[in-house]
Amino acid sequence: MIHASVIGAMANSPLVELSRVCAALGLQGRILAKLDYLLPGFSKKDRAARAIIEAARANGSLAPGQTVVELTSGNMGTGLAIVCGVLGHPFVAVMSAGNSIERARMMRALGAEVTIVPQAKGSKPGEVSGADLALVDDAAQRLTVERGAFRADQFGHKGNPDAHESGTAPEIWAQSNGEITAFCDFAGSGGTLGGAARFFARHGVRCYVVEPDGARALAEGSARYPDHPIQGGGYAMPDLAHLREAPVTGHLAVTGGQARDHARLLARTEGIFAGYSSGANLAAAAELLRGPELGGCVAIVMCDSGLKYLSTDLWE
């Protein structure tokens, strides 16, 4: 099949069984990994970026040639940079200084204008807090007005969860021959889990929210210790629009160390070079197979590429 542009390749990523990981961890059951880090922007956010821009162009809220602005940890921005570049929209990415430099460099290489927002007082480089994200949001709102731009709004636009209800989840279901019993995902905007859960609930698949230990705002309503190295989520936001009505079975917590160790395990045993949130998803899936999903089949998403973390402590 020949696609008209690279946008057409933002779907149908492979599904791989992590049998070596399961053996190494002594798990009873199966883990299937959806390799969205192989999409053109090296992350699952390509799907949401495509859906949001295509929906906005279709309903007229995004005019031809109009600028697009969005806050991003780098993955949504990369997807938007690709889609906007192909479709002729200038794109401005607004990102915290706490995110890895590889993300900003990739977006600039793809033609995006990148605005870096200094972190909140007390924040640590490499760890983006809810306070940091609030500063990025303020800057994105200001730039949207100044540029007369369309705000992609990944935290609010329904195109985000819709992309996973109509794409990610049905792909996993078909590729697994309907054998999965559970799905879990690290919560950033909540779009992946919110959309996937709507599809999976119709097939009896149980879905779980994954958050950083100490920043379990969705599970507990507050964050005791919001600092963690898992970029792209875990912002200690107690209310995510995409998860408000999602049919969620339960909540799981992982530490930054667990996410790091499991990402390294993926690389060593399965040859999957993914990032922190992918490690968090694997750690959570292993916890499920040791507990409520013992003997089951858990699906997870490999959210982004390990190449985006070479400047961090993930690969030291």
CATH code of the domain occupying 6-43+158-315: 3.40.50.1100
> Could you give the CA distance from residue 136 to residue 125 in angstroms, rounded to a whole number?
15
For residue 31, the model assigns a pLDDT of: 98
Secondary structure class of 285 (helix, strand, coil): helix
Domain 45-151, architecture per CATH: 3-Layer(aba) Sandwich (3.40)
Q: Phi then psi for 217, rounded to 5 degrees? A: -65, -35
**CA 262: distance to chain centroid?**
17
For residue range 46-105, list pLDDT tens digits in order.
Answer: 999 999 999 999 999 999 999 999 999 889 999 999 999 999 999 999 999 988 889 899
Q: How confident is the model at residue 280 (pLDDT cuts 50, 70, 90)?
A: very high
Share of the chain above pLDDT 70, in %: 100
Query: In the chain, which ranges are continuous DSSP H helix?
Result: 19-25, 45-59, 75-87, 101-109, 130-147, 159-163, 169-175, 191-201, 217-220, 256-265, 276-290
Q: How confident is the model at residue 124 (pLDDT cuts 50, 70, 90)?
A: confident
For residue 73, the model assigns a pLDDT of: 85
For residue 316, the model assigns a pLDDT of: 80
Domain assignments of the chain as residue spans, ordered by start? 6-43+158-315, 45-151
Predicted TM-score of the model (pTM): 0.94
The chain-wide mean pLDDT, for the chain, equals 95
Domains 6-43+158-315 and 45-151 share a fold: yes
Q: How confident is the model at residue 233 (pLDDT cuts 50, 70, 90)?
A: confident
What DSSP state is assigned to residue 231?
T
